Amino acid sequence: MQEQKASGAEHADDTLERESASSTAEMDIDAAEQGAENDDAKSIAEFIQAFEKLKAEYDESQNRYLRLQADYDNFRRRTRQEREETAAYANSKLIGELLPVLDNFSLAMRAAGNGESEGLVKGVTMVYDQLQRVLTSSGVEKIECLGSIFDPNLHEAVVSEPAEGVESGKILEVLRDGYTLSGKVIRPAMVKIAS
């Protein structure tokens, strides 16, 4: 009987050890699961943080790209506009030098018109008209100003005199024609205005 008691005690100890081991194993599993859940939560948080950082970097890169694209488009537009202006005004120096020749033809026609040299007037008029057509085809336009109001952007007032019945600032006489090249004034008209 004593053996049975001893055997029962051993059996109880074994059972107790097994239950204790089982309980310890369950606690280890629970702890491992808890640790795994904590690791998973930590990994997810790190992943989300890394994702947010990459998204912010991507957004910044995208904005930088869009700004660079806009800068490049503006550069191309400015360059194209400058090329067009350069082409339009490339002959302005030559045309500026030809305008006094045109003025001299005009003066010669006025002076010859007073005398008997009709053939000379006709010849000079033909040359004048031809030169005028060449300049017009190159984009040169004469500034029409007789009878209009003085505009400092288009006219240069060299004489001012009172005139009855004429509004102040109105152009009375054109002393030298003014010209534009493709809409830009290359020489203002010299005028006499009413004061």
How many domains does one find in the chain?
A: 2
The answer to the question of residue 10 being in a domain is no
The answer to the question of residue 157 being in a domain is yes
pTM of the model: 0.49
CATH classification at residue 188? 2.30.22.10
Structure tokens given for 79: 């360059």
The answer to the question of residue 46 being in a domain is yes
The alpha carbon dihedral of 26, 27, 32, 34 has a sign of positive
Query: CB within 8 A of 51, min separation 6: which ones?
Result: none
The predicted-structure confidence for 103-121, as pLDDT tens digits, reads as follows 877 877 777 766 667 777 7
For residue 160, give its domain range. 90-194
The predicted-structure confidence for 39-75, as pLDDT tens digits, reads as follows 777 888 899 999 999 999 999 999 999 999 999 999 9
One domain, residues 144 and 160: yes
One domain, residues 59 and 132: no
The alpha carbon dihedral of 39, 40, 41, 47 has a sign of positive
